[in-house]
């Protein structure tokens, strides 16, 4: 009887251990970045970027560039005061960067779509191309 109980207990423990181990199926979606860290940008840091933008008349500033496996995520601070009318090259299109906007204060109009009027390639030496969002085009509307 002791042998039977020992075998039964061993079988029960073995079956629990097997069900506890989750098998990883190679056809299941896999993360593109194993153990990628999270990123937090404190409000005080964004406020410092805003203060710098106003003092130095900057529009774009790079806050973070994050490796997310098969993609990179750029976090930038854009500060624009009120415009009477848009600048002639105020429309921006980026070859390899998608953008997400969050209006923190004031209001804004964001126009989306593939049709850009007066599309012109940005020079490769332009500061925004080199330091922020890479190659792309500008336009007027």
Partner residues linked to 77 by β-bridges: 61
Q: pLDDT, tens digit, for every residue of 73-117? A: 888 888 887 778 877 888 888 887 777 788 888 888 787 777 888
d(CA 127, CA 133): 9
Domain extents in the chain:
43-139
Q: Is 106 left (phi over 0), alpha (psi -120 to 50) or beta?
A: left
* pLDDT at position 43: 92
Q: Is the pTM of this model over 0.75?
A: no
Residues in the chain: 141
CA dihedral 67, 72, 73, 78 (to 10 degrees): 120
Contact 74, 62 (CB under 8 A): yes
Per-residue confidence at 59, pLDDT binned at 50, 70, 90?
confident
Contact 52, 36 (CB under 8 A): no
What percent of the chain stands above pLDDT 90? Answer: 16
């Amino acid at each position: 009887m002791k042998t039977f109980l020992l075998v039964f207990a061993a079988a029960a423990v073995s079956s629990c251990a097997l069900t506890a181990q989750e098998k990883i199926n190679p056809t299941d979606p896999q993360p593109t970045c194993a153990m990628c860290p999270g990123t937090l940008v404190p409000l005080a840091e964004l406020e410092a970027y805003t203060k710098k933008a106003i003092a130095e008349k900057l529009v774009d500033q790079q806050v973070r560039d994050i490796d997310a496996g098969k993609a990179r995520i750029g976090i930038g601070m854009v500060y624009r005061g009120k415009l009477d009318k848009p600048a002639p090259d105020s429309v921006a299109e980026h070859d390899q960067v998608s953008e997400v906007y969050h209006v923190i204060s004031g209001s804004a109009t964001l126009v989306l779509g593939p049709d850009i009027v007066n599309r012109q390639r940005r020079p490769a030496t332009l500061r925004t191309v080199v330091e922020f969002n890479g190659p792309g085009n500008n336009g007027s509307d």
